[in-house]
Amino acid sequence: MNSNFLLQAIFESFIDGVLIVSDRGEVIYANRSAHEICRMLSPDGLKTMRLPNQIWRICQMLVNNRALHQDTTVILEDEILTSNNNPLRVRVEWISLESVERPCLRVTIEDRMQSARKRAIAERERYGLTEREAEVWLLRHLNWTYKAIAANLHITVDTVKKHVRNIYAKREAFEWAQE
């Protein structure tokens, strides 16, 4: 089996967006998730094979400081927001590819909202949370304040606190049952 095909199949299976980018910002490879995320950030997406500016700025920090960190592995991480305030975690690191002459960067983009949703679903099942508790828990995973959660779900702050207390109690009961 061709190793390039195998590598591409692995990257395509990732939930996170994965891009391989030259040190000039030219996109060499992007998996399906990366294409979707880049469309959220830029109307052109990756049609021009150029990174959206928000991601390229993070890459440039690594490119501009390459000489300082030649002997160490450096992974830059930052968080950016889409136009609808969806948080994205961007990680950038140098990689070496035999098939490409120029230095390359691997850019991994995690859709934090999607990750929090999946985690909340798993924890809902694991701890036996109600639907409302799962909604509150999802927003807590995204570091929302009690006040913001209350406003978003049209409930009082005291109700949010009650749900969070119930969630912690269910988590603790689950942990005790596992011992």
Report if residue 173 sits inside a domain. Answer: yes
Residues 54, 107 within the same domain: yes
Residues 149, 69 within the same domain: no
Residues 6+ apart with CB under 8 A from 57: none
Residues 32, 69 within the same domain: yes
78, 111, 144 - which closes a domain: 111
Return phi, psi of residue 139, to 5°: -70, -30
Closest to 141 in 3D by CA, of 169, 166, 112, 162: 112
Report if residue 148 sits inside a domain. Answer: yes
pLDDT at 82: 86
- Model pTM score: 0.76
Contact 160, 146 (CB under 8 A): yes
Contact 167, 127 (CB under 8 A): yes
pLDDT at 141: 87
How many angstroms separate the CA atoms of 95 and 13, rounded? Answer: 20
Return phi, psi of residue 88, to 5°: -125, 130
Residues 62, 11 within the same domain: yes
Residues 65, 28 within the same domain: yes
Contact 28, 20 (CB under 8 A): yes
Collapse the DSSP code of 29 into the 3-class scheme (helix H, G, I; strand E, B; otherwise coil) and give the result. Answer: strand
Domain count, the chain: 2
Tokens read off for 135: 């909604």
By the 10 Å C-beta count (0-12 exposed, 13-18 middle, 19+ buried), 176 is classed as exposed
Report if residue 75 sits inside a domain. Answer: yes
Which residues does residue 124 pair with via DSSP β-bridges, in sequence order?
none
pLDDT tens track, the chain, 179 positions: 555 666 666 666 667 899 999 888 888 888 988 988 888 888 776 676 678 889 999 999 988 887 666 667 788 899 998 888 888 999 999 988 877 777 889 999 999 988 888 888 999 999 999 999 999 999 998 889 999 999 999 999 999 999 999 999 999 999 998 88
Residues 62, 99 within the same domain: yes
How many angstroms separate the CA atoms of 81 and 119, rounded? Answer: 20
Residues 97, 39 within the same domain: yes
Residues 22, 96 within the same domain: yes
- Full residue range of the structural domain in which residue 79 is found: 3-111
Report if residue 121 sits inside a domain. Answer: no
Closest to 163 in 3D by CA, of 142, 141, 120, 132: 132
Residues 97, 42 within the same domain: yes
Residues 64, 138 within the same domain: no
* CATH (domain of 170): 1.10.10.10
Residues 53, 96 within the same domain: yes
Residues 14, 98 within the same domain: yes
